[in-house]
Amino acid sequence: MSASTEKTAPAGQPPRPIDRQLVLLSATVLVGAIAALLDTTIVAVALDELRREFDSSVIQIQWVTTAYVLAMTAVIPAIGWTVGRFGARTMWTAALAVFLGGSVERGRARPAQLSLLGIQGGQ
């Protein structure tokens, strides 16, 4: 066995504090991960309500999930380009802002407005 190469604080000295930028980066990534998880959960939970609201079959309403996954997949190459062009921090912040704004607007929309936005189901 080899000796550990970990650096430890000398005896009697407090450990070195965590870098502020590392804490901010970790918090940003955590907020983004929670937002993506919450978004996916909302789609899954809403499927039954969408089926009832639009009087659709399960097969028709499953296209909501399929369209959601396809939209996410289509955006991946564009994200790579925009991150290279504008920087990861800028794009991450912009994506969270767009997600938050879209979520607020969807929450305020009435059913007739949702139909205009393209959430009609397979009818």
Q: For residue range 59-83, list pLDDT tens digits in order.
A: 888 887 788 778 878 887 888 889 8
Cβ contact 54:121 at 8 Å: yes
Cα–Cα dist 75/81, whole Å? 10
Q: For residue range 20-66, list pLDDT tens digits in order.
A: 888 888 888 888 788 778 877 887 888 888 888 888 888 888 887 78
Q: What angle do CA 45, 51, 55 make, to 5 degrees?
A: 160
Which pLDDT belongs to residue 120?
47
Backbone φ and ψ of 70, nearest 5°: -65, -40
Report the chain's mean pLDDT, rounded to a whole number. 77
